Amino acid sequence: MKLIEPIVAQAAAIAAIRRDLHAHPELCFEEVRTAERVASLLSEWGIEVHRGLGKTGVVGVVHGRDGGVCGRAVGLRADMDALPMTELNTFDHASRHPGRMHACGHDGHTAMLLAAAQHLAQHRDFDGTVYLIFQPAEEGGGGARAMIADGLFERFPMQAVFGMHNWPGLAVGRFAVSPGPVMASSNEFAITIRGKGGHAALPHHTVDPVPVACQLVQAFQTILTRNLRPVEPGVISVTMIHAGEATNVIPDHCHIQGTVRTFSTEALDLIETRMRELSEQLCSAFGAQVEFRFRRNYPPTVNSAAEAAFAAAVMREIVGEGGVQAQEPTLGAEDFAYMLQTKPGAYVFIGNGDGTHRASYGPGHDEGPCTLHNPRYDFNDAIIPLGATFWVLLAKRWLARTD
């Protein structure tokens, strides 16, 4: 593994910053302390700072030795927000705010980009400009979309943009990247079936919405098995069904909610259309009425082929051929997708290990899974120098391209 030595030398200081961020998590569009910490560090290192994009976003600007006059520029993005969940870890840097936790590693993503920023500011041995994008509200708030709406790409023109996420289960010292779709679109549906309530002992006087809901949930699965192309991935998950208040009362209505995930807009269009048709027609057949609501949240995250290949080449330069693998697409979602809809780029993954790094915190802290969105998750500080090295070399190699 070929790490940049000055970054390794600063690893402990950056890890301390990461742990401070972990102890003070902030939810989407509330990252006031986090943004202030990031902006203050960037300013301290002599980096031009712009605040307030997407409400709490921060952009740092690092010009190379040419002052950026060549016009070449690349964007590096890290997300800053935490999740609305209570941490179960008890180590010293555990969240001090019940109901808020860095359970996805955004504290580590911020730390890796800060480490890269510090090095780039101290060693401006490149031509062009690196834009350091510290984004709020990835966890459901669409912070990337908000930053773009605030003029991110107009104010900071760049030819490409890259993002990186830690990946539990992928060994420390390994990277993963693939062209094309790597994360799915995220969408929500809410359906209300309205029948006619009454006494449970006299069902013939009612229009019971519960069996209608059961039929509808089963029917949704036929969309995936009989309407969607068999080679096209898609998920329809009904995650909530609410009806009734008493065992001897047939309710007036039943609520159904859930999520839909796809890798293509075409598949999403088909699924939404068929869900609406089935809801309306099946409910009508049972004498019930329906309200169907479908909300599209994040689009699919689709890597540009050229940029994914470029990122993989930089990874191999650091960890060798065996340290880079193809990233299997996941049906999780990521709002970096909005940036990739606007600019060429790639979303890449860095191994966070198997969770055994928590053993160094003391007895008991290595118990439970160290998976994303788990209350015992923690980012692995050992990968900060590796992630920062990747960011620095990626930026320099990109800006040095002659094509």
Two tokens, residue 74 = 């690349």
Q: Which residues contact 291 (CB under 8 A, 6 or more apart)?
A: 191, 192, 194
pLDDT score recorded for residue 364: 65
CA distance 355 to 351: 11
Alpha helices in 102-151 (DSSP H): 106-122, 143-149
Residues 53, 136: Cα–Cα separation, whole Å:
9
Rounded to whole angstroms, the Cα distance separating 69 from 367 reads: 52
pLDDT score at 360: 86
The position carrying tokens 């203050």 is: 40
Q: What pLDDT, on a 0 to 100 scale, did the predictor assign at position 255?
A: 98
Residue range 5-183+300-399 forms a domain whose CATH class is alpha beta
- What is the distance between the alpha carbons of residues 197 and 203, in angstroms, rounded to a whole number? 9
User: What residue type is 137 in one-letter code?
Assistant: A
The closest alpha carbon to 21, from 95, 115, 112, belongs to 95
Report the first-to-last Cα separation within the chain, whole angstroms: 28
The secondary structure element, H or E, covering residue 278 is: helix 265-285
What does the domain layout of the chain look like in residue ranges? 5-183+300-399, 186-298
- 216 Cβ neighbours under 8 A, 6+ residues apart: 191, 193, 256, 278, 279, 282, 283
DSSP secondary structure, 212-277, as one string: HHHHHHHHHHHIIIIIS-TTS-EEEEEEEEEE-SSTTEE-SEEEEEEEEEESSHHHHHHHHHHHHH
Instruction: Provide the pLDDT for residue 359.
Output: 87
Q: Which CATH architecture has domain 186-298?
A: 2-Layer Sandwich (3.30)
Only one residue has tokens 């490409």, namely 160
| Distance (Å, whole) CA 164 – CA 379 | 13
Q: What is the pTM of this model?
A: 0.94
Q: Of all helices (H) and strands (E), which one includes residue 43?
A: helix 32-44
Walk along the chain (403 residues) and give the pLDDT tens digit of each residue: 999 999 999 999 999 999 999 999 999 999 999 999 999 999 999 999 999 999 999 999 999 999 999 999 999 999 999 999 999 999 999 999 999 999 999 999 999 999 999 999 999 999 999 999 999 999 999 999 999 999 999 999 999 999 999 999 999 999 999 999 999 999 999 999 999 999 999 999 999 999 999 999 999 999 999 999 999 999 999 999 999 999 999 999 999 999 999 999 999 999 999 999 999 999 999 999 999 999 999 999 999 999 999 999 999 999 999 999 999 999 999 999 999 999 999 999 999 999 999 988 877 666 778 999 999 999 999 999 999 999 999 999 999 998 7
- φ and ψ at residue 363, rounded to 5 degrees: -60, 135
